[in-house]
Amino acid sequence: MITVDAVTKAYGDTPVLGPVSEVLADRGITSVIGPNGAGKSTLLTIAGRLAEPDSGTVHVHVDDAAGAVGLDVHRARSADVAKLVAVLRQENHFTARLTVRELVSFGRFPHSRGRLTPTDVAAVDEALGFLDLTALQGRHLDELSGGQRQRAYVAMVLAQGTRHVLLDEPLNNLDIRHAVRMMRLLRRVADELGRAVALVVHDVNFAAAWSDRIVAVRDGRVVAQGTPEEVVREDVLREVFDTPVRVHVLDGVPTAVYFR
């Protein structure tokens, strides 16, 4: 699991996060929800070492011969952290004209340092197959649809072979069909591959339908956390989003309906 302890972050004189103490589970899907500017992406990028906290610590807990060990994400070697935690930013821009396979192969860099072994090739093949990209592996990224390109980026972090997969808005710019497909794939990643997936998501109902746990953030602080049934409630969502909302249970899933 990843433990965030009293983490704060500010840009200039503007605080954007914290203090936050949070645990990202060692299995299943955790969705981070909240309004724009709440600190969701900041929390995830600090947990994944893509940003430095102003104060506080982040530890990823691993098991070795001596028992459970907490690795300080921001003090440990980058190569060691990259073998435990994979992160996908919200915005990804590659200036080189890459094929899908070349992009996914980048995920093996912490292991191969650029020289792919048979083990690395097998991991790339597995990620391509799992994300249904094998037939597209020779295409360049600029030849793909938005949904295909997003799957290719997720395949890249999946190929990294880490226990934890952190995704910042993986549903961004996807229509309903492709968003549902992405969540089904992430559910399989958690259930079949045993990975712990944490993602920032704007749609509360997607979070409720696919997540094991939801963390609700507002003004840089965690307002609520728990199962979908514990978080997707009218009183909690009104506090988080400051807007009228009704919650109904449809097919066993709490579902939010918003009003003007």
User: How high is the pLDDT of residue 61?
Assistant: 83
Q: Give percent of the chain above pLDDT 90.
A: 82
User: How high is the pLDDT of residue 66?
Assistant: 45
User: How high is the pLDDT of residue 48?
Assistant: 93
User: How high is the pLDDT of residue 259?
Assistant: 72
Which tens digit of pLDDT belongs to each residue from 193-211?
Answer: 999 999 999 999 999 999 9
User: How high is the pLDDT of residue 96?
Assistant: 66
User: How high is the pLDDT of residue 252?
Assistant: 94
**Whether the predicted pLDDT of 146 surpasses 60:** yes
User: How high is the pLDDT of residue 156?
Assistant: 95
User: How high is the pLDDT of residue 26?
Assistant: 84
Q: Which of 214, 260, 209, 206 is nearest to 236 (CA)?
A: 214
Which tens digit of pLDDT belongs to each residue from 14-35?
Answer: 999 989 998 888 889 999 999 9
Q: Which of 197, 251, 257 is nearest to 232 (CA)?
A: 257
| Count of CA atoms in the C-beta half-sphere (13 A) of 234 | 9
User: How high is the pLDDT of residue 152?
Assistant: 94
> Quick one: average pLDDT of 148-153?
92
Which tens digit of pLDDT belongs to each residue from 57-102?
Answer: 999 987 654 445 688 999 999 888 999 999 998 776 665 689 999 9
* Residues present in the chain in total: 260
**CA-to-CA distance for 141 and 97, rounded, in angstroms?**
7
**Whether the predicted pLDDT of 5 surpasses 60:** yes
pLDDT grade for 258, boundaries at 50, 70 and 90: confident
User: How high is the pLDDT of residue 163?
Assistant: 92
- Domains of the chain listed by start with CATH number: 2-84+162-258 (3.40.50.300), 92-161 (no CATH)
Greater model confidence, 89 or 259: 89
User: How high is the pLDDT of residue 65?
Assistant: 47
Q: Rg for the chain (alpha carbons), in Å?
A: 18
Please report, as a single letter, which amino acid is at residue 174.
L
Which tens digit of pLDDT belongs to each residue from 199-252?
Answer: 999 999 999 999 999 999 999 999 999 999 999 999 999 999 999 999 999 999
**Whether the predicted pLDDT of 260 surpasses 70:** no
Mean pLDDT, the chain, integer? 92
**For residue 89, is it left (φ>0), alpha (ψ between -120 and 50) or beta?**
beta
**CA-to-CA distance for 217 and 38, rounded, in angstroms?**
6
